[in-house]
Amino acid sequence: MSQLALTDVFVPDAAVLTDADFAAIVREHQATVFSIAYNFLRDAGQAEELAQDVFLQFYKNLGRIESRDHAANWLRRATCHRAIDFTRKRAAAREVALESAPEPSSEPAARDPFLREHLRKLIASLPARKRLLVILRYQEEMEMDEIATAMKMPARTVRTQLWRTMAHLREKAARLLGEAGSGLATPPKGERQP
């Protein structure tokens, strides 16, 4: 049956947004949500499941969304919380203390062409909250106070934890990557412990 429904915006229901409208919103934000999930879980299937859960939750809460910025922030926040819950429920990623992350048995190559892949594995080895801090900072380019809101943490705690995590990551990367990782262990000038 073909029937025009131009006035569906006035139907008192979340379905007032047509499917095409909601799909447009999903497409606008899907890379953000999926990437946070994927970089957190390092599993495309689980990342998609988590991302779908987030958008379904978003759909149910459309009435609370006030603006596009609000939608973006809401989605990031929801993804973070679901990621933490996901880990708890499914034990999808065994949290390994950064110091205990296994080192490659072979000698590190002088130039490691898979540097970024190694970094991803290092990030995946981080505890859940610290992993998210790094993702929100370096994938989403969020400011500290934005990360604090998304993670429901005090801003000072975010700064402290992020600084320490980055210090460990650099040190680990330098050891893991050998000469290829040289120069990575030193934090940039001007960056000091909070």
Partner 1 sequence: MSSFDDELRGALRRVEPPPGFAERVLARVAAERARPGWRAHLRRVFGPAPLRLAAVAALALVIVAGVGYERHARGEEAKRQVLLALRITARQLQAAERGVQRLNARQREPKETIR
Partner 2 sequence: MKRIITVLTLATVSLWAGPQDIKFPASLEKLADKAEEVTDITLDANTLGFASSFLSDKTKDEKAAKDLVKGLKGIYIRSYEFEEEGAYSMADLGEIRSQLKPPEWVSIVSVRSKKDGENTQIYLKKQEGKIVGLTILAAEPTELTIVHIVGSIKPEDLAKLGGNFGIPNISMGPAGDNWDDF
Quote the tokens at residue 108.
């590190």
CB of 177 to partner 1, least distance (A): 10
**Per-residue DSSP letters for 48-105?**
HHHHHHHHHHHHHTGGG--SHHHHHHHHHHHHHHHHHHHHHHH--S----GGGSPPPS
**Please, what is the end-to-end C-alpha distance for the chain in angstroms?**
63
Give the range of 3-11, 42-50, 132-140, 166-174 binding partner 2 by CB under 8 A. Answer: 3-11
Q: Does 100 bind partner 2 (CB under 8 A)?
A: no
Does 6 sit near partner 2 (CB under 8 A)? Answer: yes
105 touches, from partner 2, partner 1, none (C-beta below 5 to 8 Å by class): none
| Euclidean distance between CA atoms 69 and 53, whole angstroms | 20
**Which positions ≥6 away from 80 have C-beta within 8 Å?**
36, 132, 136, 150, 151
What is the contact surface with partner 1 in residues (CB under 8 A)?
2, 4, 6, 9-28, 30-32, 34-35, 38-39, 44, 47-48, 51-52, 55-56, 59-68, 71, 115-117, 119-120, 123, 134-135, 138-139, 169-170, 173, 183-184, 186-188
**Residue (7 or 100) nearer to partner 2, CB:** 7
- Residues of the shown chain interacting with partner 2 in the complex, contacts defined by CB under 8 A: 1-7
